[in-house]
A and B are shown apart, each in its own frame.
Chain A
């Protein structure tokens, strides 16, 4: 029992070192460089600590057999020991500084970009606009981006209310999103996978529920995803989803949300054109299922108090139909 009580916190501590949302689980160009730097610095400092401890132990052990040496030889040995330690310190600090300098230079954001995504952080969700020279090919999504593996993705960071911070630890370091400014970050995933990101600058009540997912996949699958996202929202076929679309347009939903290809064109809330294709809803709060969609639409203020989506009074039928329609927007 006692052993379990001790090992549980240790396990929890260790669980922070791997898996999702960990800088040590590096799969992006920048993150790998940073992880190597962290490991190099920690290993160097650990080696210094070991050496200092060994020298300390050695001097403690030999205290008994100390003899009165003559002053001059003691002075000389002291001189050698102290100048050796000072030289080693200077050398180690210089090496760490140079390593840090070259790592930082390697994070150069000014390289050519294959994909450009404009990120607009809001309380408390992420708006992503995939930019293209041809405006007809640019599209919008929320809280989830797909990127091609091995390609440079330029992320332009903006905020529409307070300061947020874009942090996908497996791919890159943190970068703030500051109202009225544009920051730039370059992402390059070296391996396919799903990488969780999180707002890393306290931004209000629901700061902890402001997550995003970056899905890195091979170029072919990325192209398919992007061309699917460019399309307008799917026209509903079944009676339930048809009724759901009608209810969505008639009620308050359409005033804040956009579904491309319909009259819903609000810009205050996330774009819902392909919400059924996303893995999570409400910025990583819930897994995207029809049930959680219905729960969210029925009472967003209990699930995520303080967010800007009000409780829209709906009948049970309307709720069922609207959530079916949302689920059908693949």
Chain B
């Protein structure tokens, strides 16, 4: 249509000039935002109901003979490590942390009668399977077993939350905000790393220099 018209025309000025480039750039920016908004609307899947065979398989913590470290059951990887990666599970872990009274010994993660999660020391190693085993079976010197108080998927949720507050790199997922006043940085800001950088070490001089 415009190819038969010679000389500057109104439509020619729009489609070839600076205005067109500006318009195209604006279109791209708006499109990018719309795309980002559409991706944001996609909801992270939540698993409310763990099939009984799956929870039975989640019981199979393969621990080293000394009870420190080991491998999670295969089903944990088949599920896609939800207890470390989904905000819903982290948040359920946070609720379980307060419902089951973890704070009475471990405080808000800073420790008390029980060890701290923020000082860089994991008495039984920082792996999910160790933390889950500590919760499920208890540990010497006062950590009770929660085997008969929580189901295995709750134990995994709680272990994921405990791992998140002790993590040295900030996570992309976060549980919901505190209802009470904070005593430490938020979970998704890797509170352990922040406190460690501020010089919390050496908290346990008897165990040698901090990492």
Interface residues in chain A, defined as those with a beta carbon under 8 Å from any beta carbon in chain B: 179, 250-252, 255-256, 268, 299, 301-302, 305-306, 308, 310-313
Contact = CB atoms under 8 A, between A and B. Distances in A.
B149 A305 contact: no
Interface of B: 46, 48-50, 52, 55-56, 95, 99-100, 148-151, 153-154, 179
Contacts of A252: 148-151
Q: Is the interface of A mostly helix, strand, loop or mixed?
A: loop
Nearest to B100: A255
Contact of B49 (A179, A256, A302, A312): A302
A311 B150 contact: no
Given A268-B99, A301-B48, A311 B148 contact: no
A310 B151 contact: yes
13 contacts: A252-B150, A255-B148, A256-B99, A268-B99, A301-B49, A302-B49, A305-B49, A306-B48, A310-B151, A311-B49, A311-B55, A311-B151, A313-B52
Given A179-B179, A251-B148, A252-B149, 9 more contacts: A250-B148, A255-B150, A302-B49, A305-B49, A310-B153, A311-B49, A311-B50, A311-B151, A313-B52
B145 to A, nearest CB: 12
Contacts of A251: 148
A179 B178 CA distance: 13
A313 B49 contact: no
Contacts of B50: 310-311
B48 A305 contact: yes
B52 A311 contact: yes
Contacts of B179: 179
Given A252-B148, A306-B48, A313 B99 contact: no
Nearest to A256: B99
A108 B56 CA distance: 56
Contacts of A255: 100, 148-150
Contacts of A306: 46, 48
Nearest to A310: B151
A234 to B, nearest CB: 24
Contacts of A301: 48-49
A312 B179 CA distance: 29
Nearest to A205: B48
A179 B50 CA distance: 30
Contacts of A299: 49
Nearest to A306: B48
B148 to A, nearest CB: 6
Nearest to B88: A306
A240 B48 CA distance: 31
Contacts of B149: 252, 255
A90 B153 CA distance: 66
B65 to A, nearest CB: 27
Given A179-B179, A301-B48, A301-B49, A310 B154 contact: yes
Nearest to B149: A255
A76 B196 CA distance: 88
A306 B48 CA distance: 5
Which of A251, A268, A310: most chain B CB closer than 10 A?
A: A310
Contacts of B48: 301, 305-306
A159 to B, nearest CB: 11
A179 to B, nearest CB: 7
A193 B51 CA distance: 42
A247 B95 CA distance: 26
Nearest to B92: A308
Contact of A313 (B55, B150, B154): B55
A301 B149 CA distance: 18
Nearest to A299: B49
A179 B179 CA distance: 9
